[in-house]
Amino acid sequence: MKSWGKTPLADQETLNARKLAHERFDRIWKWEILSRSDAYSMLAWHLGLGEDECHMATMNRDDLKKVIFLMEKQFEFEKVLAEWEDFKQCKN
């Protein structure tokens, strides 16, 4: 088990999931599909987390697997993105 700063202790499988989730998810803002802030807002909304709780380093393995699944399934991502955009419109 390893930890760093405020990052919780995690086994190797969780550490690997964090790395893969970051690799997949970071494409959204690095490829300028969404801003980094909007990407994390959308992800927090999708996972039912507060925006201040949406950090790969503190997610449990189940949430990390949801991130990986979402990013690997383009159709699923496009569906969630459209739903999030609708949600944002309703908030304003």
Task: For residue 4, give both structure tokens.
Answer: 């760093």
Residues above pLDDT 70, as percent of the chain: 87
Query: Is residue 3's pLDDT more than 70?
Result: no
pLDDT at 12: 87
Dihedral sign of CA atoms 88, 75, 35, 64 in order = positive
Maximum pairwise Cα distance, the chain: 44
Q: If you average pLDDT over residues 29-58, what whole number do you get?
A: 92
pTM for the whole structure: 0.73
> Mean pLDDT over all residues of the chain?
86
As beta bridge partners, residue 4 has 7
User: Rounded to an integer, what is the distance from CA 49 to the centroid of its chain?
Assistant: 10
pLDDT at 5: 63
